[in-house]
């Protein structure tokens, strides 16, 4: 079983940048994709970005496309989420997840079986 651990959250001004990191301890054989999700106060958890572990395939939510970039470091079992041009509406708790989603589900929570505790990202003046 893999246990994702997020880091890198914080307070940033609008237009700023932030990089989140997710380290996955445990067996890498238990997942073939890692994803980022976020949950704002009073809202449902939503998909942000995902990456396959053994292919270049990535997927982004429309709200973050062209502003966020997901990448992986296989040697360190780590995934990075680089966030640029941040907006107040990006404020949320960001969660990292690992699992074996099928292609049609990689942009949903289905198939992600291991979740981190989350890291707070706040975009404010």
**Tokens (6 digits) for 66:** 């062209």
pLDDT in tens, 23-70: 988 776 788 999 999 999 999 999 999 999 888 899 999 999 999 999
What was the pLDDT predicted at 118?
98
User: Does position 16 have pLDDT exceeding 80, yes or no?
Assistant: yes
pLDDT in tens, 66-87: 999 999 988 888 999 999 999 9
For the chain, how are helix, strand and coil distributed in percent, rounded to 5? Answer: 10, 50, 40
């Amino acid at each position: 079983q893999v246990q994702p651990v997020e880091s890198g959250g914080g307070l940033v001004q609008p237009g700023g940048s932030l990089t989140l990191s997710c380290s996955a301890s445990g067996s890498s054989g238990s997942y073939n994709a890692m994803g980022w999700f976020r949950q704002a106060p009073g809202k449902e958890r939503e998909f942000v970005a995902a990456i396959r572990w053994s292919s270049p395939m990535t997927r982004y939510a429309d709200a973050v496309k062209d502003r966020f970039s997901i990448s992986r470091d296989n040697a360190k079992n780590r995934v990075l989420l680089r966030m640029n041009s941040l907006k107040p509406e990006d404020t949320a708790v960001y969660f990292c997840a690992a699992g074996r989603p099928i292609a049609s589900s990689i942009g949903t929570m289905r198939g992600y079986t291991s979740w981190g505790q989350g890291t707070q990202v706040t975009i404010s003046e």
